[in-house]
Amino acid sequence: MSIPDLPTPPETTGQSKAGLKYHILGTVQQVLAVELVPGKTLFSDAGAMSWMTSTVSMSAKGSGGLGGMLKRAVSGASAFIIDFEAAGGPGQAAFSTDFPGKVLPIELDAGQSLVLHKHAFLCAEKGVALDVFFTKKLGAGMFGGEGFILQKLTGPGMVFAELDGDAVEYQLKPGEVLKVEPGHIAMFEGTVAFDIQMVKGIANILFGGEGLFLGTLAGPGRVWLHSMTASKMAHRLAEYMPAKSG
């Protein structure tokens, strides 16, 4: 079976160092289409794939053995990952964003790591190691809100991330600190120190309107932020929803 012709542009085409070809389609709500050939495998969290050709097979596997599965289950992440590989010849698997935003390809070198919000992780090239990321303070993830689960991916290989709204990137120098409402944190390099701290000042807590906690990101390293969050959009839309009758 031949691979169907791709939709018309706008399109960004690229290739990983290992030869994995991909296409990022669209503008407002982008789609990632990856070309798979025998020997090339892609993986994602369960439920991420949108469509694929009949020549692509998918298989669910536990992440990191029993210990890894339990750790991911306790954290609230999916205990399983899904592998996609070409079975009967060249094929294509597509992954679409579930919120208006951008798809970003990041090539990781051996040993280089990237920490992503669980909703930011789209898929990755086989060979990239996936693990749950825990902050130094046990309660930080619990209080971060936004279903605040972080995943750590370590190279080598290509990682694809989805960011809500526009992708805003900062290059933090050593010692530079960025304080961010947790829902806007999409991903950051493994060299960046991350923590969640309570907002200071009773007036800020009561009247600041920004929640009780802020994420702190300390350089060196790159940080990517969502310009839009699903929770803020839902809150805004709720103003126009009819009230439920008793």
Cα–Cα separations (whole angstroms), residue 176 to 144, 211, 216, 224: 21, 23, 10, 15
CATH number at residue 203: 3.60.160.10
User: Residue 77 and residue 69: Cα distance in Å, rounded?
Assistant: 9
When divided into structural domains, the chain yields a total of 1
Per-residue pLDDT reduced to its tens digit, 44-100: 988 889 999 999 999 988 665 544 555 555 545 566 789 999 987 899 999 998 888
pTM, full prediction: 0.82
Quote the pLDDT of residue 154. 97
Asked if residue 1 is part of any domain, the answer here is no
Asked if residue 242 is part of any domain, the answer here is no
Question: Around 223, how many Cα atoms within 13 Å sit in the side-chain half-sphere?
Answer: 25
- Checking if the pLDDT of 197 tops 70, the result is yes
Domain containing residue 94: 11-237
Name the CA radius of gyration of the chain, rounded: 19
Asked if residue 243 is part of any domain, the answer here is no
Pick from 29, 36, 65: nearest CA to 158: 36
Asked if residue 245 is part of any domain, the answer here is no
* Confidence class for position 171, pLDDT limits 50, 70, 90: very high
Quote the pLDDT of residue 145. 46
Residue, of 63 and 153, whose pLDDT is higher: 153
Quote the pLDDT of residue 37. 93
Asked if residue 148 is part of any domain, the answer here is yes
User: Residue 4 and residue 2: Cα distance in Å, rounded?
Assistant: 6
| Amino acid, single-letter form, for residue 80 | F
Which of 63-70's residues contact partners 24+ apart within 8 Å by CB, and which partners? 63/130, 64/130, 64/131, 68/131
Asked if residue 211 is part of any domain, the answer here is yes
| Amino acid, single-letter form, for residue 108 | L
